[in-house]
Structure 1
Amino acid sequence: EGLLFPYTAGVAFLSPIEAAGGWRAIDALYAKLPVSTEQVLHPEKYQAGEAPVAVRLPANLARDLGAGWSQPLTDTFGEFQMRVWMTDTGVALADATAAAAGWGGDRFAVLDGPGDTWGVIMRTAWDSDADAGAFEVAAATSLREAGGSGGVFVGEGGKTRWVVIGSDDPTLSKLTAVLGLAG
């Protein structure tokens, strides 16, 4: 699905622009490219200039977890990849699409710990409290279907949700404690 996205969603994004203004309108897009998959999926958000919310993770997360921890990857999912993650882990496409539609921004980190321990944390920002709640339900379903140790936690301000996954329950508890989340 990820390989096809630029082609299928790209055509859907560009077709109305080309129909309204021809190739000159397409060429003009190079001066102001979409900055997120959200803008490609929702051209009205592109037209309105709705940029993703800047989401930050704790600066010293690996250090705060203790000796032997590293953070080899930090990145952003975006609305599209959020939907893919949920559908790949058991959420119906329509439900995942609806849950991801209120995406405002995100940031995730992969953490390697001592021995065989590991963790993944993702901080998400949503357009509204209701959007955050819809994501929480769908993400909880994804985690339950995937099995293992993980949870969805309410963050600050009502529009933030954290997804925290650990290699085992003690690691999950350690991650949530370092993040200051109720476990």
Structure 2
Amino acid sequence: MKTTDQDHALTAVIEGHAVQVMIDGLSDLSPHVARIADVTVPTDKHNPAAWHTVFYYAMGAKFVQALKARGGYADVHKAFGSLPASSEQILHPEKYTTEPDWPDRIELDIEAVKAAAPKGFELKGQDTLGEWTTRMLFTAEPATFDAAEALARGWGGDAEVTLATSGRDAKVVKLWVTSWDSEEEAAEFHTALAKLPDVRASARDKRLVTLVRSSETLDASIAEALMQAGGKARITLDPAK
């Protein structure tokens, strides 16, 4: 099952490849086409769809250019057989091409999470959000908009589980365990969480930050139980491929 993070990475490779082929074919006739890969911010900065377009097409093309510079289109085509492991590698191509950096492995104790779930809530899914989605969470909030890129840059890995009630007016709670490249970056992320309106509880332990998100107000004891369940995750920092 692909995660949100893996889906972002795959889409960026596919669309980035298509854009680069277009650049190669049209840049002599229309030199401005080559500048597509240099776009980093959409015209409408507060439109999430516009940000995703920039990521898939422009940043994806920049990633493909890094592969092409290393080994031509042969290297680009090889990437389809050995896909980037995360959106982090799209955002920082060197973490795929020259200094491989694979996401930390975080395995939540699902039974512990189920036991800590509020009454009436059931497990609805597991996911990995990745650096790009983390950045978008901060981009969506005016208080963290300007710092969003810097706050997400140190992402090392994450695992999220969604709990929800049934019915039309379902309530949703998310437990999210994240890891960071350094304690300083973990601390910056943890501090910034206070500016996100749906964060109900959070805690940092060196390079790890665990948090509970919900659109609904949560009893402190429920949030704490979920946090403790998150603390039972099996984590491998800095794994080899």
TM normalised by structure 2 equals 0.64
State the distance in 2 between where 1:176 and 1:3 align: 38
- Residue 117 (structure 2) aligned to one of 65, 68, 78: 65
1:82-130: CA deviation from partner (whole Å, max 9, x where unpaired)? 0001111234444111111110000112212489654111100011101
One-letter code aligned to 1:43: P
Identity, in percent, stands at 28
- Residue 101 (structure 2) aligned to one of 50, 58, 80: 50
- Residue 185 (structure 2) aligned to one of 131, 147, 172: 131
The residue number in structure 1 matching 2:134 is: 82
User: SS of the counterpart of 1:2?
Assistant: helix
The residue number in structure 1 matching 2:218 is: 169
Q: Which runs of 5+ in 2 are unaligned?
A: 1-50, 230-241
State the distance in 2 between where 1:27 and 1:7 align: 17
Question: Does the aligned pair in 2 maintain the 1:91–1:138 contact within 8 Å?
Answer: no
1:179 aligns with 2:227: yes
TM normalised by structure 1 equals 0.82
| Gap change, CA 1:64 and 1:136, over 3 Å in 2 | closer
Q: Which runs of 5+ in 1 are unaligned?
A: none
1:35-59: CA deviation from partner (whole Å, max 9, x where unpaired)? 1000111112112221100112232
- Residue 6 (structure 1) aligned to one of 33, 38, 56: 56
Task: Single out whichever of 126-135 and 21-30 deviates more from structure 2.
Answer: 21-30
User: SS of the counterpart of 1:31?
Assistant: coil
Question: Does the aligned pair in 1 maintain the 2:130–2:157 contact within 8 Å?
Answer: yes
State the distance in 1 between where 2:146 and 2:62 align: 18
Aligned residues: 174
Superposed CA RMSD: 2.4
One-letter code aligned to 1:78: G
Structure 1 residue 149 displacement after superposition: 5.9
Task: Single out whichever of 110-119 and 82-91 deviates more from structure 2.
Answer: 110-119
